[in-house]
Chain A
Amino acid sequence: MEFTLWDIVRNLLVGMQWTLLLSLVAFICGGVAGLLVLLARLSDNFVLRGAAKGYIELFQGTPLLMQLFMVFFGIALFGVDISAWMAAAIALTLFTSAFLAETWRGCVEAIPRGQWEASGSLAMTRLEQMRYVILPQALRIAVAPTVGFSVQVVKGTAVTSIIGFTELTKTGGMLANATFEPFLIYGLVAVGYFMLCYPLSLSARYLERRLHAPA
């Protein structure tokens, strides 16, 4: 069977859609989970704080591939049948939430202590201080690194090919086996990732310049 260049590109585009979808799910769910981890990490309850810290260390200190295996094979151990897609989405969400929580913690800690003292002196509770004073300011400095991290998420989706999720890399692998043209195929795969990531890098840089300029 002969593959035309269009056949190859068409198949890769289908794989790319899954890469994009997985990235979006991981980024959005990871963002929401990351916010919860962040609040726990900054809470004045030391149990919550410790748990959040452990969570972050765990996911930052182990390879994404191992996390993926743990989710994929670990959940199967409980007799629950889990699809490659679900395992990929869960593992990437956990990974993303840990990194975003830690990035955002840095942004919160960049807010001067005087802001905490002033809002505290006005009798606000810790959550009120966060909600009305600290997070709105931290958000501004968090935008650029957050968008920048989304590039890592997109590239991170590539490892999910190993558990058989047919995203861009997996599609490329199958095509390479069928056509015996790995250089061409993986070259196109790389172009595909670049097309997803480059606009993100550009916007991160743009946002960084814009939001860091004095108001």
Chain B
Amino acid sequence: MPLLRVSALHKYYGDNHVLKGVDLSIEEGEVVALIGRSGSGKSTFLRTLNGLESISDGVIEVDGEYLDAARADLRTLRQKVGMVFQQFNLFPHLTVGENVMLAPQVVKKTSKAQARQLAEQMLARVGLGDKFDAYPDRLSGGQQQRVAIARALAMSPKVLLCDEITSALDPELVNEVLGVVRQLAKEGMTLIMVTHEMRFAREVGDKLVFMHHGKVHETGHPRDVFAAPRTAELANFIGSVMG
């Protein structure tokens, strides 16, 4: 049984039909790269998966948790679906350690001592064990993004959504973040990434999902898809981004 299954997902912004029936299923441990032109709906789609965007029609099922246009138990769903953002969105009034400790304490009622231990482990996992007491604005963009990953991991999500997490970074900082993601993939984390890093998608991804005009236009293993796209739209897209 797939870990995540989306069927006939539609999303309207007013009259604007953004998602036009998305179907997708993702197995546990899969690393999925969502690609497509801007406006293809890939970010919107990603954001529906943890309820940041409401949906107009269709069903999302994550690890036994259902979400549709009428009902959504976001509290439960979001404990299963973590998210990392382009702009990091760390909490600036809290230290790095507190950023990671907050949700386990508040949402899962973990004791302070345990949350602290957990935060230390998660920060060590992203290579920032020594930054526990620093404030976010003292860190580089790459370090901030790694803290954001640690913060999401501290909730032990089943799936981690990554929304263009390297797009706001200076080029020399991209690799430290991708390194962490690569490590997570190796450890068996289920990842869904909206990304422009095509080489990374090809290297790490198990599945490539090309979105076009609000639909999943083509999917396949990145190696196959990059080598021999079946549709003209994907071939065009690959041509334009790979130069």
Does chain B have a CB within 8 A of A119? yes
Does chain B have a CB within 8 A of A124? yes
Known contacts A121-B82, A122-B151; A136 and B107 CB within 8 A of each other? no
Interface of A is mostly: helix
Does chain A have a CB within 8 A of B71? no
Q: Does A119 lie within 8 Å of B85, measured CB to CB?
A: no
Q: Does B78 lie within 8 Å of A118, measured CB to CB?
A: no
Known contacts A136-B93, A215-B137; A122 and B102 CB within 8 A of each other? yes
Measured CA separation A6–B74 after assembly (Å): 69
Measured CA separation A132–B92 after assembly (Å): 12
Measured CA separation A140–B92 after assembly (Å): 12
Q: Which residue of B lies closest to A113 (CB)?
A: B89
Measured CA separation A112–B79 after assembly (Å): 23
Q: Does B85 lie within 8 Å of A117, measured CB to CB?
A: yes
Q: Does B102 lie within 8 Å of A120, measured CB to CB?
A: no
CB 8 Å contact bits of A94-113 with B (1 = contact, 0 = none)? 00000000000000000010
Chain A residues whose CB sits within 8 angstroms of the CB of B91 once the complex forms: 115, 118-119, 133, 137
Q: How far is the CB of B192 from chain A (nearest CB, A)?
A: 13
Q: How far is the CB of B75 from chain A (nearest CB, A)?
A: 6
Chain B residues whose CB sits within 8 angstroms of the CB of A136 once the complex forms: 93
Sort chain A's interface into a size bin. 20 to 34
Q: Does B87 lie within 8 Å of A124, measured CB to CB?
A: no
Measured CA separation A4–B90 after assembly (Å): 65
Does chain B have a CB within 8 A of A213? no
Chain B residues whose CB sits within 8 angstroms of the CB of A215 once the complex forms: 92, 135, 137
Chain B residues whose CB sits within 8 angstroms of the CB of A114 once the complex forms: 85, 87, 89
Measured CA separation A119–B135 after assembly (Å): 17
Chain A residues whose CB sits within 8 angstroms of the CB of B87 once the complex forms: 114
Q: How far is the CB of B181 from chain A (nearest CB, A)?
A: 17
Q: Does A121 lie within 8 Å of B78, measured CB to CB?
A: yes
Does chain A have a CB within 8 A of B18? no
Does chain A have a CB within 8 A of B52? yes
Q: Which residue of B lies closest to A128 (CB)?
A: B106
Does chain B have a CB within 8 A of A5? no
Q: Which residue of A lies closest to B83 (CB)?
A: A121
Does chain A have a CB within 8 A of B50? yes
Does chain A have a CB within 8 A of B155? yes
CB 8 Å contact bits of B53-93 with A (1 = contact, 0 = none)? 00000000000000000000011101101110101011111
Does chain B have a CB within 8 A of A123? yes
Does chain A have a CB within 8 A of B173? no
CB 8 Å contact bits of B129-143 with A (1 = contact, 0 = none)? 000000101000000
Measured CA separation A137–B78 after assembly (Å): 23
Q: How far is the CB of B188 from chain A (nearest CB, A)?
A: 22
Q: Does A115 lie within 8 Å of B79, measured CB to CB?
A: no
Chain B residues whose CB sits within 8 angstroms of the CB of A137 once the complex forms: 91-93
Chain A residues whose CB sits within 8 angstroms of the CB of B151 once the complex forms: 122
Does chain B have a CB within 8 A of A125? yes
Q: How far is the CB of A167 from chain B (nearest CB, A)?
A: 39
Q: B107-135: which have CB < 8 Å to A?
A: 107, 135
Measured CA separation A53–B225 after assembly (Å): 54
Does chain A have a CB within 8 A of B169? no
Q: How far is the CB of A109 from chain B (nearest CB, A)?
A: 17
Known contacts A118-B89, A136-B93; A123 and B79 CB within 8 A of each other? yes
Chain B residues whose CB sits within 8 angstroms of the CB of A118 once the complex forms: 83, 85, 89-91, 148
Q: B154-168: which have CB < 8 Å to A?
A: 155
Other than A121-B78, A123-B76, give 17 A-B pairs with Cβ distance below 8 A.
A114-B85, A114-B87, A118-B83, A118-B85, A118-B90, A118-B91, A122-B103, A123-B75, A123-B78, A123-B79, A123-B107, A124-B106, A125-B75, A132-B102, A136-B93, A137-B93, A215-B135
18 contacts between A and B (CB under 8 A): A117-B89, A118-B85, A118-B90, A119-B103, A120-B74, A121-B50, A121-B78, A121-B81, A122-B78, A122-B152, A123-B76, A124-B103, A124-B106, A124-B107, A125-B75, A137-B92, A214-B137, A215-B92
Identify the A interface with B (CB < 8 A): 112, 114-115, 117-125, 128, 132-133, 136-137, 140, 214-215
Q: Which 9 A-B pairs have the closest CB atoms?
A: A118-B89, A122-B103, A114-B89, A123-B78, A121-B83, A123-B79, A123-B107, A136-B93, A128-B106
